[in-house]
Structures are given as C-alpha cells and as structure tokens.
Amino acid sequence: MVPILEVKDLTKSYGPLVAVNDVSFAIRPGICFGLLGPNGAGKTTTLEVIENILAPTSGDILYKGQPRSATFKNEVGIQFQQTSLLAMLTVWETLQVFKALYDETENLDRLIERCQLQEFKHQRHENLSGGQRQRFLLALALVNRPQLLFLDEPSTGLDPQARRNLWDIVNAIKASGKTIILTTHYMEEAQQLCDEVAIMDHGRIIARGAPEALIRTHCEGVTVVLPRGSFRQPLESLPLKVQEINGAVHIQTSNIDDCLKQLLSDQVDLSDMSVHSPNLEHVFLNLTGRHLRD
C-alpha cells in the first residue's frame, strides 16, 4: 500500500541551529501517527514543513507517493498549536469564511455538532474557553473534509475533562477513516490516540513503532519509584537497574518480588514507594535519561 505521506531525510535549519535533523518516516492511510517528544524536540517544525508552511532545508516529502501539488492544501486539514483568526467574527461566521476557501467542504451544522459547538456557534471566537477553542480549531481543520489531518499539540493547556472530551472527538474522526498526524508531549495522549508513534529528541527520531511495541522493546516489567532519601547507601552499590531523576530513584525490574526483597535486605525505607507500569514516558526516559516534560 502506498503511504499517504512519506518523509525522506528531512532537515530544517535556522542558521547554525538544526531544528529537524535527517528525519524519515512513512505513514499508512487511516492511522493516527504521533510525533512524541519534549518541547523543542522539533515536532512542530517537522509538522509545519510537511504542511508546507515552512520550506525544508533539505529532504523530500511525498503525499500519496508524489511531491505535494496544488491540491495538497485542499486535501489536508491543519490545527495549529498557536494561531489567531480574523477578529470580531463568531464561530459560525469563521467556519463560513474557511468553508468558502475550499472546493469540497463539510456541512457546517454537522461539523458544529461533531465538535460539540452548538451552544457557542453565535459567540465570538475570542470569547471561547480553552477547551471550546480547541474544539473550534479542530472544526476549522475539518471544514474541507480532509483526508489527512494535522493536529499540533491539540490538548495543551486543557483540563483533564476537556482533554478527554477532545480525545473522544479525535477517536471519532479516526474511526471515520481519516489519517491523523498529531504532535504531543503527553504520553497518555499518544497512547490513547496513536496507532504508531515516532519519539523525537533534539530534532531526531530516536524510536518509532506502535506504542505497545516500543514499551515492550525499551522497558522491562515495572518501575519502582522511591525518594532518594529512602536509601542510606550509594545507589551504585545496589544490584538493581537504577536511575536517579529529579531527586527520585527509578528502579526497573521484571520481577517485583525479587526487587522488593533486595530493597528490604538493604534496609531501604519503602514507606513512600510507588509502582508504575511502563509507558511511553518510560520509553523516553530509558532512551534519553530525561523526562518528557523536563
């Protein structure tokens, strides 16, 4: 099957700063592909080069096996991380404006309902709350019935309820067969929404695959977390796989019973202990030694 999007050896530099460094990946139609990484990893720049907002320094981008043509803008929908819109317009009027810019478009009433904007359609878009605004921006990205949808940090700044609400909408879009590329620094978001992720750091892709496969490959068992103060001895003396991160000790183990026995025999204070199943955050941690949100 021809990938809907193929990125080959993409590099984007700003003078001496290399924001995206030799990035390559291909995306199958109908999946949700996530670019995961901390702030400044190069996710948004990668996305904006693909979207044709920025020009690449080098590399190729193929859409349906061909270089992007004039129809590309008609067939993709984009939700920017930060954007402004034409001032003084209502939600409905702004959707009307954007609808008029495209050849093939969605029914606005249906779109409003899908993005749960019925109550706010006659409200000025400047007055929307964070969650309402993100749903409105999503509606704008969907106005042209895109085959490929770009979502750049769609849930940043939202409260947990609003975030879950947005995920439900994105999952519904995904179920309709559209291909989605999203960037996020929330591992939970990537795990909830993405069929495949590429983890970026310092402009490079450091790991790629399905979230479960990445976790299986890069993490073993569970992670035991304890405050550094719980240990009397130097961490190097412990016969365990240990990492100290921001004052907390992370111990990865495939056998929790043996691990706990060892900690008890070393007289470690377990009163503040927590145990975590591995997730993409741990994948990133294991690969870089840093948290995603450091």
Partner 1 sequence: MHIKRIWIMFKARNWEFFRDRASFGWNFLFPFLLVAGFGILFGGRGHTEYTIGVFPTAPDTMTVASLDLPEAFKETRFLQFVGFTSHTEAMEKLRHHKVDLVIRTGPPPHQYWINESSPKGYLAEKIFQASLTGEANPSLLHKEKIHTAEIRYIDWLFPGILAMNMMFSALWGVGYIVVRYRKNGALRRLKATPLTAFEYLSAQMLSRLFLLMFTLLVVWFGCDLIFHFHVEGSVGDIFVLFFLGSLSLTSMGLVLAARGTSEEFTTGTLNFISWPMMFLSEVWFSLEGAPGWVKHVAQAFPLTHLLTGIRKIMNDGAGLVDVLPEITILLLMTGTFLGLGAYLFSWDR
> Judged by CB under 8 A, does residue 55 bind partner 1?
no
> Judged by CB under 8 A, does residue 96 bind partner 1?
yes
Write down the H helix ranges in 158-210: 160-175, 187-193
In DSSP terms, 20 is beta-bridged to 12
- Whichever of 179 and 252 has its CB closer to partner 1, that residue is 179
> Judged by CB under 8 A, does residue 257 bind partner 1?
no
- Whichever of 179 and 192 has its CB closer to partner 1, that residue is 179
Q: Assign 43 to helix, strand or coil.
A: helix
> Judged by CB under 8 A, does residue 87 bind partner 1?
yes
- Whichever of 138 and 197 has its CB closer to partner 1, that residue is 138
Which residue from 1, 17, 55, 88 is in contact with partner 1, where contact means CB under 8 A?
Answer: 88
Cα-based angle 50, 180, 34 (whole degrees, multiple of 5): 80
> Judged by CB under 8 A, does residue 122 bind partner 1?
no
> Judged by CB under 8 A, does residue 69 bind partner 1?
no
Q: What is the DSSP string of 216-249?
A: HHH--SEEEEEEGGG-SS-GGGSSSEEEEETTEE
Least spacing, CB of residue 66 vs partner 1, in Å: 18
> Judged by CB under 8 A, does residue 51 bind partner 1?
yes
Q: Using CA atoms, how far apart are residues 133 and 169, in angstroms rounded to an integer?
A: 14
- Whichever of 52 and 262 has its CB closer to partner 1, that residue is 52
What is the side-by-side order of every strand in the sheet holding 196-201? 76-79, 148-152, 179-184, 32-36, 196-201, 204-209
191 neighbors 223 (Cβ within 8 angstroms): no
> Judged by CB under 8 A, does residue 275 bind partner 1?
no
The site for partner 1 (CB under 8 A) is made up of 51-53, 70, 73-74, 78, 80, 82-89, 93, 96-98, 100-103
